[in-house]
Structure 1
C-alpha cells in the first residue's frame, strides 16, 4: 500500500518526486481520480479547493477524473476508483469524508483499491486512516465543533490502519493559531501518537514503512 498523506496537497519538488517514485511511471502515462467530497461540507470561499485541484491537474495526467462519493451507486464509485492509478482525496471536513465512505458502504472496496494504487491525501484526505478517528480524538484535538456541525450520526473510522493521528497545517498562515503552543496543548491531552505537519510536509506510507517527506517542518510525538 502506497499512501502520501500531505498537509496541503502536493506543493513542492520533494513531494512530487515522492509521488512519481511511488507511482513508478510518468504522470502523463497515468490516470488520476480527484475526490472533492470533504470540501463540500465547508462553508465560504472555495478558492483553496480550486487551487489544489489546479495543482493536481497541472501535473499532466493522461486522464483527470473528478468523483463525488455521495449520490452515486457504490459499485460505480468503486469502478471509477479502480480505473485510476492515483486516488487523490481533497481537504475539508474529515468527519464528513469518513461518514461518506462508511455510510455508502465503500470502506472495504476502497481499501482493496488501495492495495494496487497510490493514494494522495490533502489535509482531511490524509486524516481518515487513523483508528483514533472518533469522538474522543475530536475532543482531544479540539475538532468537536467540526464533528457536531454534521449532526449526531455515529462516527466510525473507515479504515483504522494506523495507531497514530495526523494533524495538518502547523505554522500555516491560513490557520495562525496552529503553532507549537497549540501542538503542545494537544500532546499534553493525547493518549495516542501524533504527527503535526506544516503545509510543505507529508507522511509517506509504503507497506509497513512510515517516514516523512518534507521541505518544511514537522513533529512526531509517540
Structure 2
C-alpha cells in the first residue's frame, strides 16, 4: 500500500514529486477519484475545499472523478474507487468520514482498492487510517466537539492500518492555536505515537516503510 498523508493537500513541489514517483506514470495518464465526504460535515465557508480541489485538478489528470461515499449503492462506490489510480480523500470532519465508511459497509472494499493504488489524504483524509482513531484519542487530542456535533461519543476506526496517529496543521495560520506548545500539551498526555505535521509536510508510507517529506516543520511524539 502507498500513502501520501498530508495536512493541507498536495501543495508544494516536494509533495507533487513524491506523488508522481509513487504513481509511476504522468498525472495525464492516470485517473484520480476525489472523495469530499469529510467536508460536508463542516459548517461555514468552503473556499478551502474548492481551492484544494482546484489545486489537485490543475495537475492535469486523464480523468478527475468526484465520489461522495453516502447515498450511493455500495458496489457503485467500490467500482469507482477501483477505476482510479489515485484515491484522494479530502479534509473536513474525520469522524464523519470514518462513520461514513463503516456505516455504509465500505471498509473491506475500500481497503482492497487501497492495496494496489496510491492514496492521498488531506487532513481528515489522512487521519482515518490509524487504529487510534477512537473516542479515547478524541479526548487526548481535544477533538470531542467534532464527535459531539455528530451526536456521537465514540468512533470505530475503519481500517486500523497504522500504530501511530496523525495530527495536521501544526503552526498553520488557519489554526493559530496549533503551535508548538499545543503539540507539547497533547504529547504529554498521549499514550500512542503522534506525527504533528504542518501544511507543507506529508507522511509517506510505501509498502509498510514510513518516512516524512517536508518543506516545512513536523515532529514525532515520542
SS in 2 for 1:170: coil
Matched, 1:99 2:104: no
- Of the structure 1 ranges 152-161 and 34-43, higher mean CA displacement relative to structure 2 is found in 152-161
Question: Which residue is equivalent to 1:196?
Answer: 196
Which stretches in structure 2 are left out of the alignment for 5+ residues? none
SS in 2 for 1:59: coil
What is the rounded CA distance, in whole Å, between the counterparts of 1:93 and 1:19 in structure 2? 24
- Of the structure 1 ranges 151-160 and 54-63, higher mean CA displacement relative to structure 2 is found in 151-160
State the 1:149 CA deviation.
0.7
Question: Which residue is equivalent to 1:128?
Answer: 128
Question: Which residue is equivalent to 1:45?
Answer: 45
Structure 1 residues 118-169: Cα deviation after superposition (integer angstroms, max 9, x where no partner): 0000000000011010000000000000011101375100000111000000
What is the rounded CA distance, in whole Å, between the counterparts of 1:211 and 1:133 in structure 2? 21
What is the rounded CA distance, in whole Å, between the counterparts of 2:209 and 2:10 in structure 1? 20
Question: Which residue is equivalent to 2:19?
Answer: 19
SS in 1 for 2:18: helix
Question: Which residue is equivalent to 2:113?
Answer: 113
Matched, 1:65 2:65: yes
Question: Which residue is equivalent to 1:84?
Answer: 84
| TM-score normalised by length of structure 1 | 0.99
* Cα-Cα RMSD: 0.7
Which stretches in structure 1 are left out of the alignment for 5+ residues? none
Structure 1 residues 179-208: Cα deviation after superposition (integer angstroms, max 9, x where no partner): 000000000010000000000000000011
Equivalent residue pairs, number: 222
- Of the structure 1 ranges 21-30 and 146-155, higher mean CA displacement relative to structure 2 is found in 146-155
What is the rounded CA distance, in whole Å, between the counterparts of 1:142 and 1:167 in structure 2? 11
**Aligned structure 1 segments of 4 or more residues deviating by more than 2 angstroms:** none
